Amino acid sequence: MNGQKEVRAHYLVFFILGLLSIGIGILLCPDFTQIRAGLLHMILHPSLLSTDYMVVGQCMGASFVNAGLLVWATLLVYRWAQAKLQGLQVAALMMVFGYGFFGKNLFNVWPLVIGVMLASRHAGRNPREDVALAFFAASLSPLVSVLAVGTPLMIHASLWITVPISVAAGILGGFLIGRFSAYVRRLHHGASLYNGALSSGMVGILANFLLISVGLGHDRLLDNTFISGENLTLGLIVFGLSLYFILAGLILNKGFRGLHYFLGRSFSSIDFVYQFSLGKTLMNMGLVGLFCLLYVVLIPGAQLNGPVYGGLFTIVGFAAHGVTLPAMLPAAVGVSLGAFFTGGISGVLTGGDFLGPAIEKLGSRDMLVAWMFVGGFSPMTKMYGVTAAILAGFLHSITVTNIAPLHGWMVGYNNGFSMGLIAMLFFPMIEMMSKRDYFYKIFKGFLGKEQTEQGVLEKNIPS
């Protein structure tokens, strides 16, 4: 397949994804008036973490239309930037798709995208180099929405005032993320795939503190309503889209050849599309989607909803840029262990039993979302070993539910921010252990094979 045909084939795969999502939305909600009203409700909602657009849109189908339209819009920007669909671009696109179910809409992503593009221009870079980062920066899209429709400013001002303020704030936030991201990666040395989340979290904290200081602070503004009882429908959709990725991969790859690369190995951050081809990568994405669906099916009380969909399709996207089943499994086990034991201990301390609260927390929305996102620790399995990745997942289950107030629930990638902070702590800790003989002996199983032989030296960390 020559270069131009290959590019068109890559774009076609994800154009069809958007078409499938919109088609599913219309099947779920055949009334176009209701879909249009649902899209407007999403735009006029503060959209803070974690907002279930399947509820906000007032018909589940509207959220699928929103997600599909966002996919198409992202592809248009990619074409404008003349960007090839490599691993990072696929990950960003799938993250936009997933967050189309809880927090991103046709209004609030664009100021952040413009801000990153301005930062790219300011740095003298080609837009195609930063177009994926532009959509990762849309993590701060809740900032745009909450300034437009959700702060006390709305009491005294109309949309004619609040919308320009929110757009300006979003552009500034995107610009800062665009400038920070290149430096933030050095803090965690590539141990987390969610580089944009850490920079977004830092900008979000600054924005929240500024709003509080001028009297525009806000509460969570969350009605705590999430769709439930739709596991069969939503599960079949995940199953169908995962099979679509596998089928598309089979067609492009002309068979299963090379799929074993993903089934028995862990990688550091790596562009699978560039390294192995889109066909093989799509099959890996489909397998990751099926694995995540299987976990939801097996956990008692687990419910598929907007936030869980967002996490699931995000990790499916990063199966194009570093995530494989062997790599994500240790950290996922860590999250499950963390949820189980902290839930059980909490139950005992409040006068109840251990098992009931442990299982309940394991199937809670927050822990399901954390489990989906924790695949972003996949490089840690390769860099530091299985035990370290399990420990990182355990710590993530504890921190992720407690840091959102810092950024005012305005950072959509709260899980990625939590994981970035944990990854920052791991590098100096593991390096210390590798340089102390007694630590080396005690934690020999804690480190990966390469690290136990050579120590964790900065030259071995991906740049």
Q: Please compute the mean of the pLDDT values over residues 211-231 and round it to a whole number.
A: 81
Q: Which residues constitute the domain of residue 97?
A: 3-213
> Binning pLDDT at 50, 70 and 90, where does residue 452 land?
very low
Do 359 and 256 lie in one domain? The reply is: yes
Q: Give the CA-trace dihedral at 372, 419, 279, 86, to 10 degrees.
A: 140
Indicate the pTM of the whole model. 0.90
Do 189 and 242 lie in one domain? The reply is: no
* Whole-number Å distance between alpha carbons of 90 and 274: 11
> Residue 427: is its pLDDT beyond 60?
yes
Domain-terminating residue out of 213, 241, 265: 213
> Residue 453: is its pLDDT beyond 50?
no
> Residue 450: is its pLDDT beyond 60?
no
Please check whether residue 73 is in contact with residue 106, taking contact to mean a CB–CB distance below 8 angstroms.
yes
Please check whether residue 134 is in contact with residue 113, taking contact to mean a CB–CB distance below 8 angstroms.
yes
Domain-terminating residue out of 213, 241, 273: 213
* Whole-number Å distance between alpha carbons of 412 and 108: 12
User: Considering the domain boundaries, does residue 220 fall inside one?
Assistant: no
Do 279 and 346 lie in one domain? The reply is: yes
Do 377 and 422 lie in one domain? The reply is: yes
> Binning pLDDT at 50, 70 and 90, where does residue 437 land?
very low
Integer CA distances (angstroms), 426 to 126, 189, 265, 357, 446, in order:
34, 10, 22, 30, 12
Domain-terminating residue out of 186, 213, 240: 213
> Binning pLDDT at 50, 70 and 90, where does residue 265 land?
low
Do 131 and 275 lie in one domain? The reply is: no
Do 337 and 455 lie in one domain? The reply is: yes
Total domains in the chain come to 2
Q: Please compute the mean of the pLDDT values over residues 248-252 and round it to a whole number.
A: 95
* Whole-number Å distance between alpha carbons of 260 and 390: 24
* Whole-number Å distance between alpha carbons of 147 and 127: 28
What is the per-residue pLDDT across 318-341, written as a single tens digit (0 to 9) for each? 999 989 999 999 999 999 999 999
What is the per-residue pLDDT across 143-190, written as a single tens digit (0 to 9) for each? 999 999 877 666 667 888 889 999 999 999 999 998 888 777 778 777
